[in-house]
A = this chain, B = another copy of it.
Amino acid sequence: MDRRFFIYRKVLTYLCHLMQQPALYTVLSPKLLSLYPVKDAVVVIIDVFRATSTIATALYNGAHKIYPVDSVEQCKALGSQLNAITAGERDGKVIEGLQYGNSPAEYPRTFIEGKTMVLTTTNGTKLLHMALREGASEVITGSFPNLQAVCDFLVAQNKPVILGCSAWKDRFNLEDTLFAGAVIDAIGQHFTIHCDSSLMAVEMYRQHQNDMYQFIRKTTHWHRLANYGLEKDLEYCVTPNVANTLCIYRDNALVAQ
């Protein structure tokens, strides 16, 4: 009788624990964001090639603040207003009128420390602003270079999570999905996950975590960017924890925390 009592209690405690775990969803494209419960969730903006990898690297290397903006015009205007450096790329080249590109290699500590930066990107910034409009409680950016920092923050927050893939012009992409899978692989057990995107993402990650450099060469985005001679950049962007800083959105800018 005593033994059964303890077993029941253990099972009940476990079930209560499971029921209290916050939900986690993976959103595969900005176009799908509105289908998921964003309000009051922590949203992780994922743009592996290369915006969020560059953001992590620049903040890790001591950048003061990074303002993500939608358009080149905004980038120039805000850059001039804040006396900040301006950055953005199209087709693998620095955009005319801006100063720097979207490569993490451009932002070593010797250059970026203490500087403020205004960055325009195509996919990630749009998703970030959508998440804010939908009432996210926190917005952070995620990439392989700051994987561990993202995971630690999400577990500590103990709130619902949306892993938001920036995709490419709204089309599903693999590199963002693999990062979502890496997060779920690491901390999925802390969340309630009823979400096929998450199930797929973690399977794809587990399948390819040990041949990432090879597998990533098959993706459409790799082909697009490798044409511009960016292979080294892209390999860096799928390397975990080389710029392990939490990048959080505060007062219109991303800052290290």
Which A residues are within 8 Å of any B CB, using their own CB?
28-29, 31-32, 35-36, 169-174, 177, 194-197, 199-200, 203-204, 207, 218-221, 223
Contacting pair B197 A172 (CB below 8 A):
yes
A58 to B171, CA, bound (A): 34
A77 to B197 CA separation, bound complex (whole angstroms): 37
Describe A's contact surface by its main secondary structure: helix
This chain: how many copies in the complex?
2
Which residue from chain B places its CB closest to the CB of A221 in the assembled complex?
B196
Of all A-B residue pairs in the complex, the 10 with the closest CB atoms, nearest first, are A174-B196, A172-B197, A173-B196, A31-B31, A194-B220, A196-B220, A35-B171, A35-B170, A172-B196, A28-B172
Separation of A36 and B223 alpha carbons in the complex (Å): 19
Residue of B whose beta carbon sits closest to that of A201: B200
Partner of A207, one of B32, B171, B172, B207: B207
A-B contact pairs, 17 of them (CB 8 A): A28-B172, A29-B29, A29-B31, A29-B32, A31-B31, A31-B35, A32-B32, A32-B171, A35-B170, A172-B196, A174-B200, A196-B219, A199-B218, A200-B200, A200-B204, A203-B204, A203-B207
Which residue on B lies nearest to A36, using beta carbons?
Answer: B171
If A31-B32, A204-B204 are given as contacts, then 9 extra A-B residue pairs at C-beta distance below 8 Å, sorted by A number, are A29-B31, A29-B32, A174-B196, A174-B199, A174-B200, A177-B196, A194-B220, A196-B220, A199-B218
* Complexed CA–CA distance, A200 and B207 (Å): 11
Task: Give A28 to B174 CA distance when docked, in angstroms.
Answer: 13
Query: CA–CA, A195 to B177, complex, Å?
Result: 14
Determine the distance from Cα of A244 to Cα of B224 in the docked complex, in whole angstroms: 39
Return the contact of A32 from the options B172, B177, B203, B204 (Cβ within 8 A): B172
Residues of B within 8 A of A32 (CB): 29, 31-32, 170-172
